[in-house]
Structure 1
Amino acid sequence: MGKKPVSPFVRAHVVALHDAGFNQVHISKQLNISRCCAQNAIKKYKDQGNYNDLKSSGRPRKVDGRGLRHLKRLVKGDERLSAAKIATDLNASLPKPITTRTVRNYLKELGFEDVVKVKKQWLGVKHRKQRMAWCTQHMNWTRDDWKNVIFSDESTFYVLKRKNQRKIWRLDKEKLLLECLEQTNIGDGGKVGIWGGISDVCTTNTRIYTENMNGQLYCDVLQKEVKQFLAKTPTTAKMVFQQDLAPWYTSNIVKEKIVKLKLNMLEWVPTSPDLNRIEMLWSILDKKLVAKPMYSKAALIDRLQEEWNNIDKDLCIKLVESMPERI
């Protein structure tokens, strides 16, 4: 039909004018198409009885079914090869070589995405066995059981560096504007530590400190923050205290303090931060800190205390209830 495609509607109009007795020259002038287009439209209708183009086979695929199966085998596995390496290996079995870009197109067609690996705690054989034993021991715990757990942890916050990446919408020419920059400094402007605990009831009092956490400091946390929380909790006898296996938590003076305070402890497994509900809270606090810039440790301490005091009870409930019904 010429270089420019002619729609089925125009072809139908051509046939209608032809049936009405108009010649091809008049039809081409009236519809602003070439005489050849009008002639081909009339001929197509006489031969095929319709105005549409026949479905074409399209460009031949460079990789057939067997090649696609080979491609799937190459992209899967422990190594997860790059598109360039996959193209090199795949070309060894193809009659005609293909480019890296073609490999990417076929992978997208198969549903694969080019993404950054998700970071996950490394687990050795010993860790896996310990986790399995722990899950077997607690597999029958219900959400009511998890509601009695006080999840605790400590984290470090920096004056100028945030835990979460900040994304903004901007034009390319705006990238050096002050509001589009992430302020940094040598040493990140200073840091402070924060300890806290959450349960289905509420949060504990928080302890914010500028020194490094150690056994003595943690004993003071147990004596004050944890003991005060249990004192105002009506179901103290049922409450179970959770802590991870950081060195200062497992020191002898801390063990003696736990016995002296008669705390019901939840046995914990190493390298299992994903089970601790309070881990999610640190990221939430960090997002709240973004709202107002800080330039000193004193300001950071005040903001952390303010945001901790403003933690909603419903948020604590949701975090605790996010524990699986059955592990």
Structure 2
Amino acid sequence: MSGHRCCVQNAIKKYKQLGRFDDLKHTERPKKLSGREIRHLKRLVKGDSHLSASKIASDLNTSLPKPIKTRTVRRYLKHLGFEYVVKIKKQWLSARRRQKCIAWYKQYLNWTKYDWGKVIFSDESTIYVLKRKNQCKIWRMDKKKLLPECLQQTNTGDGGNVGIWGGISGFGTTIAKICTENMNGQLYCNILQLQTELKRFVAKFPKKTKMIY
């Protein structure tokens, strides 16, 4: 048996003091927050998701026997699954529009990728340039990022706009059509009537393929 002299001396000393050679179990560092205090922290965040970590720490410390630091709050929130991020910007949809979208999804739920490959999807959109900075940060969980309260509705601004039209299918994409006018029903019909690219795009499909537009 071989070993360092200091290790042998330490083992002998430990045996004389404790009557054992094995290492003692290390006690865990006491937690900063109890289960009840963690639940209070979650209520603070859910009550107002816009609060900064420093404000949350300040509000939480009013009910704690020993104050905690802001970085401790951040660490606990991260452990609970929360992250402080900018709201995702999405176009506003009314409740009726959302219900129609869900009904449409359910109607074609069983379609295969081959069925979808025969569909030509076209869409138009108007892109607005917003001069103002309107980012909004909140505390949220990743699984809840698309809930209405975690989204920031986009709207028009005074920085100008540009319209765009395009199509896509399982056989490729059309060329994007750019226009400087506001996209409306009449302009959309004119684009479809004058869009020779769409005709060339359809001509590339295999013969006897029943496409859906």
TM-score norm. by structure 1 comes to 0.43
Structure-2 residue corresponding to 1:65: 35
Structure 2: distance between partners of 1:74 and 1:112: 12
Structure-1 residue corresponding to 2:193: 222
Shift of 1:115: 2.9
Instruction: Kindly tell me the number of residue pairs found equivalent between the two proteins.
Output: 176
In structure 2, the residue corresponding to 1:74 is in which secondary structure? Answer: helix
225 and 123 in structure 1: CA distance in 2 versus 1, 3 angstrom threshold: same
Structure-2 residue corresponding to 1:91: 61
Q: Kindly indicate whether the alpha-carbon contact (under 8 Å) linking 1:45 and 1:51 is maintained by their aligned counterparts in 2.
A: no
Q: Deviations over 1:260-279 (max 9, x none)?
A: xxxxxxxxxxxxxxxxxxxx
155 and 13 in structure 1: CA distance in 2 versus 1, 3 angstrom threshold: farther
Structure 2: distance between partners of 1:78 and 1:235: 58
Structure-2 residue corresponding to 1:282: none
89 and 124 in structure 1: CA distance in 2 versus 1, 3 angstrom threshold: farther
- Pick the aligned partner of 2:5 from 4, 13, 19: 13
Q: Does 1:212 align with 2:181?
A: yes
Find the structure with the greater CA-based Rg: 1
In structure 1, the residue corresponding to 2:89 is in which secondary structure? Answer: coil
CA RMSD of aligned residues (A): 3.7
Structure 2: distance between partners of 1:193 and 1:65: 53
Structure 1 gap segments, 5+ residues each: 1-9, 19-37, 158-187, 242-327
TM-score norm. by structure 2 comes to 0.61
Moved more, 207-216 or 195-204: 207-216
Structure 2: distance between partners of 1:64 and 1:207: 58
Structure-2 residue corresponding to 1:125: 95
Structure-2 residue corresponding to 1:199: 169
The answer to which structure has the higher helix fraction is 1
Q: Does 1:238 align with 2:207?
A: no
- Pick the aligned partner of 1:152 from 116, 122, 143: 122
Structure-1 residue corresponding to 2:110: 140
195 and 124 in structure 1: CA distance in 2 versus 1, 3 angstrom threshold: closer
In structure 2, the residue corresponding to 1:57 is in which secondary structure? Answer: coil
Structure-2 residue corresponding to 1:175: none
57 and 78 in structure 1: CA distance in 2 versus 1, 3 angstrom threshold: same
The answer to which structure has the higher strand fraction is 2
Structure 2 gap segments, 5+ residues each: 128-158
83 and 209 in structure 1: CA distance in 2 versus 1, 3 angstrom threshold: closer
89 and 207 in structure 1: CA distance in 2 versus 1, 3 angstrom threshold: closer
Deviant stretches of 4+, over 6 Å: none
Structure 2: distance between partners of 1:149 and 1:219: 21
In structure 1, the residue corresponding to 2:78 is in which secondary structure? Answer: helix
128 and 211 in structure 1: CA distance in 2 versus 1, 3 angstrom threshold: closer
In structure 1, the residue corresponding to 2:90 is in which secondary structure? Answer: coil
In structure 1, the residue corresponding to 2:84 is in which secondary structure? Answer: coil
Shift of 1:193: 5.8
Superposed, 1:76-115 pairs within 5 Å as 76=46, 79=49, 81-115=51-85
Q: Deviations over 1:65-95 (max 9, x none)?
A: 2212322333346736432332233234322
